[in-house]
Amino acid sequence: MFLEIFTVWLGLFSIGFTFLPMFMVLDWRKRGSADGFSSVNFVLPMLVQSFWLRHGYMTNDQTNIIINSVNLVFFAFYVSAFAYYQPKRKYLIGQIIAAALAIKVAFAYVDTHDADSINDAMGSMAAAAQIFSLVGGIYEIKRAISMGTTEYIPAGFQFAIFTLILQWLLFGILHGNQFIAISNAAGLLVNIATISLYFFYPPLTWTVPIFNIPPQKKDAKKVE
């Protein structure tokens, strides 16, 4: 009974989480540009969502199907909004092409497996893709250190990611799904590392909520 309730809650929470990047879109609109922000963490999630969606269809996992279908629709919108507000789109275009090719190659590889192992193969690929997507988080950490500020890493988004990943980790453990558990454990480590940056490289123009870390009083250079 608890697992059923928790599964429903996690599904609703995950869908609600999908709306959070809308605040970033509003921030781009207020700034008049998405310059300084990275598209990596919008494109890579779509890669992961595509993998988990296919795994959901293959295993008839309705939770995965619903969550990732909704996520793909919204993240397609966020990528489009980023493209609209970002004057330099060549990196975004390259990321989208690379993601599409990766999906095509991965699905073709999974299809080479027999009926007894194809579901596990897709699950392994989905977990691997989620772990690989942590490259986006590591890239954000590197950028923040290089720029000397976390100005372009919204704190609310990171705190929400923390609560989401923690619950998915628990979900994977309770359901005995090693693919979900391992991928989210890795994601949690990167998320905690990102949040820790607020203490060492505060934002330039806003106060970090919860920790109440004030903004810096100096300019920071922008890097691509």
Q: Quote the pLDDT of residue 64.
A: 85
Q: For residue 218, name the pLDDT band (cuts at 50, 70, 90).
A: low
* Structure tokens given for 99: 């993601």
3-state secondary structure of 208: strand
Residue at 56: amino acid letter: G
Percent of all residues in the chain with a pLDDT value above 70, rounded to a whole number? 96
CA distances (Å), origin 72, targets 63, 108, 114, 180, 202: 14, 21, 28, 18, 32
Residue at 74: amino acid letter: F
Average pLDDT of the chain to the nearest whole number = 90
pLDDT digits (tens, 9 = 90+) for 56-95: 999 998 888 998 999 999 999 999 999 999 988 889 999 9
Backbone angles phi, psi at 213, to 5 degrees: -85, 120
CA distance 108 to 111: 5
CA distance 77 to 83: 10
pLDDT digits (tens, 9 = 90+) for 126-153: 988 888 888 888 989 999 999 999 999 9
Residue 119 in this model has a pLDDT that exceeds 80: yes
Q: Quote the pLDDT of residue 224.
A: 43
Q: Which residue has the higher pLDDT, 200 or 3?
A: 200
The secondary structure of 21-58, three-state, reads HHHHHHHHHHHCCCCCCCCHHHHHHHHHHHHHHHHHHH
Residue 117 in this model has a pLDDT that exceeds 90: yes
* Structure tokens given for 167: 């619950």
Tell me 216's DSSP state: P
Backbone angles phi, psi at 9, to 5 degrees: -60, -45
Give the predicted TM-score (pTM) of the model: 0.75
**Measured between alpha carbons, how far apart are the two ends of the chain, in Å?**
49
Q: For residue 223, name the pLDDT band (cuts at 50, 70, 90).
A: very low
Q: Quote the pLDDT of residue 220.
A: 44
Q: 166-195 as b/e, with b when 16 or more CB fall inside 10 Å?
A: ebbbebbeeeebebbbbbbebbbebbeebb
Q: Quote the pLDDT of residue 136.
A: 84
Which residue in 40, 65, 67, 66 sits closest to 54, CA to CA? 65
Residue 221 in this model has a pLDDT that exceeds 60: no
Average pLDDT (17-30) is 90
Cβ–Cβ under 8 Å, residues 99 and 44:
yes
Residues in Cβ contact with 85 at an 8 Å cutoff, skipping those fewer than 6 apart: 25, 28, 29, 32, 33, 34
Average pLDDT (175-197) is 91
